[in-house]
Amino acid sequence: MTFKRSMKKMAAGIVASSAIFYSGAVMAADTIKVGVLHSLSGTMAISESTLKDTVLMLIKEQNAKGGVMGKKLEPVVVDPASNWPLFAEKARELITKDKVDVIFGCWTSVSRKSVLPVVEELNGLLFYPVQYEGEESSKNVFYTGAAPNQQAIPAVDYLLNDLGVKRFVLAGTDYVYPRTTNKILEAYLKSKGIPDEDIMINYTPFGYSDWQSIVSNIKDFGSQGKKTAVVSTINGDANVPFYKELANQGVKAEDIPVVAFSVGEEELSGIDTGPLVGHLAAWNYFESVDTEANEKFIDEWHQYTGNDKRVTNDPMEATYIGFNMWVKAVEKAKSTDTDKVAKAMIGMETPNLTGGMAVMNKNHHLSKPVLIGEIQDDGQFSVVWQTDGLVKGDAWSDFLPGSKDLISDWTAPINCGNYNVKTKTCGGQAAAE
């Protein structure tokens, strides 16, 4: 499925008209402001622009239903431009200048880490919709993407148990999410009896494009007589030349399968997927899932964008879940106050798009299913494996020495994001009871 430049222009025109419609000049003064903090330019725009459009679609639909508590929702869209310090600056402006009541945003963990001290200082509220490395739980953040035990660990289990993989290449972009995730995976693989010499780790910068020698090294590593796989935490537009080079060097899925954590339908829309058929991705949602709720969501997306070729993906579903939970929490709390909404969020349930209910836990992470999909020649994924039920997101990994004794519980009497169950102490931010 080829992503057409003309369609990007069409979507941009739709969003521009939406921005005019939602401007302060035409909206009533008494609105609930929603911050949208996603990169619309730079290396991460390939992934994040779609999430901005998703939030705008959800706001438009909610306003058509009468808004929230009788008030219209007013989006405030900013572009942090794949610039990590700028995320913090824009978040501060959204809360202090624009007076938003909630922020939906960030993709990379480095952008979230940049925003985190701002929302904690100003008591803002952030919904973060992308898979991440865990090792965090803030009272001001709700994590609607996957924690490692909801994506990375099940994916490695699938490679070990279903495909018989014995050698692993951990390839990632050089920042906190891939490095921490791979630290967890390295410890996990060793606990499963995989020796050091059968684990290859490689990092590349954001936007990396010269993959020839790295793919050659992967081929050499996989030619030692043991079944080899690549576990990819490569982010953003670097995925396009990476997969192209795999195809150029004839790396096929039956020889060295790649399982990706940051490649979904949107990223594949710009690639000739024919040579990539059989490579894998682990997510909690795929567009190809056949449910009534998903069909309705896809139809609404096509209608909103005016383009029936626009795909959906996992972070869009995570945004959908987070947005709907926030609406319910505001209505339950009868307020947009951060502390009241955060309290109302605990235990909140809302339908997901794969059939079933998403549940928000005391650690501000969701319970959700895990799916592994195989790339098809049309740029979609065929689900080849999934969990029997929901998997509860774990904020702290059981496979890192400094984390295995930590839990997160934002309810009384603990009210702490990193509570040590052995020492009975809170190691960081705690909520007032």
Query: What does the pLDDT look like over 361-408, one tens digit per residue?
Result: 999 999 999 999 999 999 999 999 999 999 999 999 999 988 999 999
Which residue intervals of 269-345 are DSSP H helices?
A: 292-305, 314-333, 338-345
pLDDT of residue 8: 42
Domains belonging to the chain, first-starting first, are 5-147+290-369 (3.40.50.2300), 149-289+372-392 (3.40.50.2300)
Q: Reply yes or no on whether the pLDDT at 144 is more than 90.
A: yes
Q: Reply yes or no on whether the pLDDT at 114 is more than 70.
A: yes
Q: Reply yes or no on whether the pLDDT at 25 is more than 60.
A: no
d(CA 162, CA 259): 13
Mean pLDDT calculated for residue range 256-269: 92
Given CA atoms 87, 392, 264, 35 in this order, what sign does their dihedral have?
A: negative
Q: Reply yes or no on whether the pLDDT at 7 is more than 70.
A: no
Instruction: Return the C-alpha torsion angle 257, 188, 134, 372, nearest 10.
Output: 30
**Chain segment 407-429, per-residue pLDDT in tens:** 999 999 999 999 999 999 998 76
DSSP class of 370? -
Q: Reply yes or no on whether the pLDDT at 121 is more than 60.
A: yes
d(CA 95, CA 310): 32
Q: Reply yes or no on whether the pLDDT at 13 is more than 50.
A: no
pLDDT of residue 12: 46
Percentage of residues in the chain with pLDDT exceeding 70? 92
pLDDT of residue 430: 54
pTM beyond 0.85: the answer is yes
* Contact in structure between 432 and 151 (CB atoms under 8 Å): no
**Chain segment 313-354, per-residue pLDDT in tens:** 999 999 999 999 999 999 999 999 999 999 999 999 999 999
DSSP helix, strand, coil percent of the chain (3-state; round to 5) = 40, 20, 40
CA 423 vs CA 97, 228, 403, 417: distances in Å: 42, 41, 13, 15
Q: Reply yes or no on whether the pLDDT at 4 is more than 60.
A: no
pLDDT of residue 29: 52
Mean pLDDT of the chain: 92
Contacts of 260 (CB under 8 A, 6+ apart): 232, 234, 239, 279, 280, 281, 282
d(CA 13, CA 305): 10
Mean pLDDT calculated for residue range 51-75: 98
**Chain segment 200-259, per-residue pLDDT in tens:** 999 999 999 999 999 999 999 999 999 999 999 999 889 889 999 999 999 999 999 999
Q: Reply yes or no on whether the pLDDT at 432 is more than 50.
A: no
Q: Is the peptide bond before 154 cis (omega within 30 degrees of 0)?
A: no
**Tokens in use for 18?**
């939406």
pLDDT of residue 429: 65
3-state secondary structure of 401: coil
